[in-house]
Amino acid sequence: MNFWFKEKNTDGYQVKWKISKILHNEKTPYQELAVVNTLEWGKALILDGALQVSEKDEFIYHEMIVHVPMFSHPAPRNVLIIGGGDGGTLRELCKHPELQKVDMVEIDERVVAASKKYLPSISSAFGDTRVNLYFQDGIEFVKKAGKYDLVIVDSSDPVGPAQQLFTREFYSNIYNCLNDDGMIVVQSESPVFYQEVFRSVYQNIKAVFPRTMVYLAYVPTYVSGPWSFTIGSKVYDPREYKGGSNAGFDLKYYNGKVHQAAFALPEFIQDMIQA
């Protein structure tokens, strides 16, 4: 049979994935949540009409949002994740032996529940003893939290519950709950398809942090072209890879050369953030 999931993209561009089964579909208090079997990408988690992770390529996004900041900070021990309910970011983070404590704040308990049930290879680290999981609003959490070496904002697109996670005020509250040499990393959307969001994240982080840097990755199940991440750093230059050989991490995308290369921006993207 011919079943397709059609993603909401821009007015003039659409991507569709063929599916064989809708494993789960519910309306949570915050968003519409579904898990499907795709023909070519394994199981996939969908929130409010946008594919969030597929089993086949989720390693790319998760390795890149975690290991780039973790390997540019010399001793990251306490980390806060905001969002990331599927658990992929947590799984990558927990590979770091120097990590002592992770607080994870996800607004929607149902995302974690669905991932635990349907996506065990992604949600595998929720049992790690270093993890404290809070089902709360990240916006409120960071107003009184502290002190972290790294805050990871692993949000969905800036519609629905994630909208407030793209504001200057939010980044400013994160600045205050970071140690003196801490950093923030956020997923900052496609610089080609969602230029305005990309630009505004950069400007908002730059208004708060002394060093602001963009890096890119190839994520096949997101819209084509580069996907961006933005780092705000109090002290360290995130372009400097401090990870040694990272032997034993068993990574499928990230390595030291990829770390450094990810910061080499095409001219038109450099122009977007300089303007």
Site residues, a copy of itself (CB under 8 A): 4, 10-18, 38-41, 57, 60, 192-193, 216, 218-226, 251-255, 257-258, 260-268
* Shorter beta-carbon distance to a copy of itself: residue 36 or 139: 36
- We find the least distance from the C-beta atom of residue 86 to a copy of itself, in angstroms, to be 19
Nearer to a copy of itself, 171 or 222 (CB): 222
- Angle between helix axes 195-206 and 168-176 (nearest 10 degrees) is 40
Among 11, 154, 237, 271, the active-site one is 154
Question: Nearest distance from residue 19's CB to a copy of itself, in Å?
Answer: 8
Nearer to a copy of itself among residue 207 and residue 264 (C-beta) = 264
Residue by residue, DSSP assigns 177-246 as TEEEEEEEEEE---TTT-HHHHHHHHHHHHTT-SEEEEEEE--TTSSSS-EEEEEEESS--TTS---TT-
Nearest to 88 by CA among 112, 123, 117: 123
**Calpha distance 92→257 (Å, rounded):** 18
Listed as own residue / partner, the contacts of 262-270 with beta carbons closer than 8 Å and 24 or more positions apart are: 262/64, 262/68, 262/215, 262/216, 262/217, 263/213, 263/214, 263/215, 263/238, 263/239, 265/214, 265/216, 266/226, 269/191, 269/214, 269/216, 269/226, 269/228
Is 154 catalytic? The answer is yes
Q: What is the smallest separation between the CB atom of 241 and a copy of itself, expressed in angstroms?
A: 11
In the complex, the smallest distance separating the C-beta of residue 218 from a copy of itself, rounded to whole angstroms, is 4
Residue closer to a copy of itself by CB (options 33, 44) is: 44
Distance (Å, whole) CA 68 – CA 215: 9
Min CB(44)–a copy of itself separation in Å: 11
CB nearer to a copy of itself: pick between 60 and 105: 60
Q: Which residues are catalytic?
A: 154
